Amino acid sequence: MNNKKAFFKGFRDGIPIGLGYFAVAFSLGIMAKKCTLIPIQGFIGSLFTRASAGEYGVYTMVLQDASYLSVVIMSLVTNLRYLLMSTALSQKFSPETPLIKRILVGCCVTDEIFGISIAYPGYLAPAYTFGATAIAAPLWALGTMFGIIAGSVLPVKAVSALSVALYGMFLAIIIPPSKKDKAVGVAVICSFLLSYLCRNLDLLKSLNLSSGTITIILTLLISSAAAVIRPVLTNTDEMDS
């Protein structure tokens, strides 16, 4: 697939992500307004950060007039999962990929963009990731900005249905491989169950873990268990084809 084709494929796959982003960012914007942010700050912050939990954490610190150091720590902790995702993506490049493209793909990483990039067949075409980001990032930024402008005037319900676009897309990524590889299917079912328990068991609820933290802990736990119980033969053979 050439670059242009990969870019447009990414752009198309980025549309449902962008719609979901818009809805989530809109509620982030409503909250950012309460933290005294102005629309342009929400737009710039969101365009270049693209991290819901991280932004949420930092914006509340604006209100508290927290120290600059604590903002750095907050960004580190809430986004630690990106270290893991970036590590996984480092294995997805063809050896010829230039450094600048690796850096740019790294900057594009969000949970969702990572998800579709890692599921790309064979080596990752960086243009695919750029295409998806080209539509998803502006929608995330605009959602935040409109959220700040509209404040609590607009009913959130009007945009809430859009947020499931995101999850629909996730299902389209995880279900077909689950059908093909039973080990993946079992891992997915375990993920659903444990994730549900983390949000609903009183004991775990009392720990008050953020959804980002739950994601990273369960990913480490379940993927390790799956790797021990059902090791994969060699990844590299598949990549060559």
Partner 1 sequence: MTHSTWIYILLMILTTNIIRVIPITLIRKQIKNHFIQSFLYYVPYVTLAVMTFPAITEATSSPVAGYAALGLGIIAAWAGLGLFPVSVICCVAVFILEMLPI
Q: Which of residues 180-199 bind partner 1 (CB under 8 A)?
A: 183-184, 187-188, 191-192, 194-196, 199
Given 6, 25, 58, 145, the residue binding partner 1 (CB under 8 A): 58
- Name the residue type at position 74: M
Please give the Cα distance from 196 to 70 (Å, whole number). 31
CA distances from 107 to 21, 70, 100 (A): 17, 22, 11
Asked if 203 touches partner 1 (CB under 8 A), the answer is: no
Listed ranges 98-106, 140-148, 201-209: which one lies at the site for partner 1 (CB under 8 A): 98-106
Given 2, 206, 208, 236, the residue binding partner 1 (CB under 8 A): 236
DSSP sequence for 4-24: HHHHHHHHHHHHHHHHHHHHH
DSSP category for residue 79: T
Nearer of residues 134 and 188 to partner 1, judged by Cβ: 188
| Number of separate helices (H) and strands (E) present in the chain | 14, 0
Please, are residues 30 and 154 in contact by the beta-carbon 8 Å criterion? no
Structure tokens at 41: 């700050």
- Name the residue type at position 240: D
Asked if 231 touches partner 1 (CB under 8 A), the answer is: yes
Contacts of 25 (CB under 8 A, 6+ apart): 46, 52, 139, 140, 141, 142, 143, 144, 147
Listed ranges 133-141, 145-153, 201-209, 218-226: which one lies at the site for partner 1 (CB under 8 A): 218-226
Minimum distance, C-beta of residue 64 to partner 1, in the bound complex (Å): 10
Given 29, 54, 131, 147, the residue binding partner 1 (CB under 8 A): 54
Q: Which of residues 148-167 bind partner 1 (CB under 8 A)?
A: 157, 160-167
Asked if 118 touches partner 1 (CB under 8 A), the answer is: yes
Please give the Cα distance from 129 to 61 (Å, whole number). 31
Listed ranges 133-141, 143-151, 179-187, 201-209: which one lies at the site for partner 1 (CB under 8 A): 179-187
Please, are residues 232 and 116 in contact by the beta-carbon 8 Å criterion? no
Minimum distance, C-beta of residue 142 to partner 1, in the bound complex (Å): 17
Minimum distance, C-beta of residue 183 to partner 1, in the bound complex (Å): 8
Asked if 223 touches partner 1 (CB under 8 A), the answer is: yes
